[in-house]
Structure 1
Amino acid sequence: MNKISLYSEGIYDVTIVPNTFIDLYMPSANGAYVKVYLYLLRHIGSSNTEITISSIADHLEDTEKDIIRALNYWEKQNLLKIERNAQDEITAIYLADLSGLNKTGHSTATIDDALEELDSVTVSEPDEIASNIHTETEPAAIPTYSQDKIDELKSNDKFQYVTHIVELYLGRPMKPVDLQLIIYLYDELKFSPELIIYLYEYCVSKNKMNPSYIEAVALEWAKEGIDTEEKAREATLLYNEHINNVMKAFGLNRTPGQIERKYITKWVEVYSFSDDIITEACNRTILRTQKPDFKYADKILETWFKKGAKTLEDIAILDEEFAKGGRAKTVPNVTPIAKPSANKFNQFPQRTYSAKDYAELERKLINKGL
């Protein structure tokens, strides 16, 4: 792993965290990204300014991929500049001097040539309610709007109404980062006032009020073509139904965690399985493991997906093939699907017997002299 040289426009004998960073950048940033930036500041203030991606990852107990993702995010925010060699390895990191920024994040002085404004790179962050479990990308950086633009929109009655309602949802006065995000939603994503209000209503109902999270949900909606309040309500209602069905099948009376939500999203959006099939996998998981195990259920559903199963009938065929030792050898050895009986215990899978089973049972009874 190559060593990386770290440079700064300021020389610190202590770890100094600029107020501009705390006021403007930290509130909307992922916590893991903040740790990486603070770690860079710490090393600027030490005698050893040579670090590696691996050393940062080890110290912060994170993956190298996560460290690179954080550096790319801060590069996009113009808080640092990254130099790379021909092998695309990071060789140097330059931290920008934030003392030259005003309260809106605009530069009030010329930054050194080594810290010129970078070419924009489009990145995105998946929303935890609509992301593939294998997808990990960075959040997009929203533009910084000028005071003239802010004043222009503040004179718009519809925009004023939106900011007023958002303040009520957040339960606090509007911060600059909140205002910048709302302008982005209104001016860039072309969200209607009704859609912006529902976006905040939805996120606050999930106790998610971080601007980064709200932005991620908005970007996912835009990506999926959700451009009206009605479409957003339908999408969130449908997803909530999927969640409720899974939690009910697992016998859990709580809100699913982030990883659990990603599993559910994978089953619904990547595998395109119906609730019936997902519930069947959950039921088999409980019978096999005696506990709600999302990872085990995922293995069952992954196997069905790879086998091309799309209905409960397809799964029944896979069960039959497995019982005969046929092509479905990789199907988990769990209880097969049974037709429901008329009694009140029909929630338990009913075992099916073949002619061979009855013949074997008869032989045992005869041998016992019964």
Structure 2
Amino acid sequence: MKEKEILINWMEEGMTSIPNVLLKNYRRLQLNETEMMVLLHIYSFSQKGISFPSFEDLSGLMTISSSDCAACVKKMIQKQVITIEQGEQTGYEFYSLTPLWNKIAALFESDARGESLQQAMTEEKDLYSLFEEEFGRPLSAIECETLALWIDQDQHDPAVIKAALREAVLSMKLNFRYIDRILFEWKKQGIKTVEQAREQGRKFRKPANTEQVSRSENAVPFYNWLEQ
């Protein structure tokens, strides 16, 4: 056979594009290597328009028997990785890989939730450390509970809580009651971001007139949130 004919036959065989997410996550789907190869051959057949290859077709490309292929397919159906569907118009059966893609998508969602939870735990830990640093002492049990309530019950963003702590420091009112009042007022006014909180703080810390500035050049003006 000439090289040109070999090349043409090679190209006509086509190529199978295997998603990297499948290669990276098949173990997490509890698939072994044999099941994975059967799955890849089913996927390859589907890309060629053959939606329901026989066990003989599959085993002919592998080193296992058709009965072993059948056992692998049965296990993958039990693991809800593939299903056998029936076409509404044609009535012919076909392998559906939709459960496989749904499972991989669920893994991504789970990973994303895990990363978010880890980030939230890190932010919460940093928040406690920051409060203890500013207060110059370990937080009491009641203060820790209050801080947890701000996060879990009141749904305040840790960054906004840090901004409220900063306001308390600048106003020289470093206590939890004052910070709680700041957060209450911000929530009532719809303040949800650090930028909004800082703008609100700058507005209320701004001296009423230039005479006040000249009278207290070295003082830090503050807004008494407890008087709201």
Q: TM exceeds 0.5?
A: no
Q: Shorter-normalised TM-score: what interval?
A: 0.3 to 0.5
User: Could you state the TM-score of these two structures normalised by the residue count of structure 1?
Assistant: 0.22
Q: Which has the larger radius of gyration?
A: 2
Q: TM-score, normalized by length of structure 2?
A: 0.34
More helix by share: 2
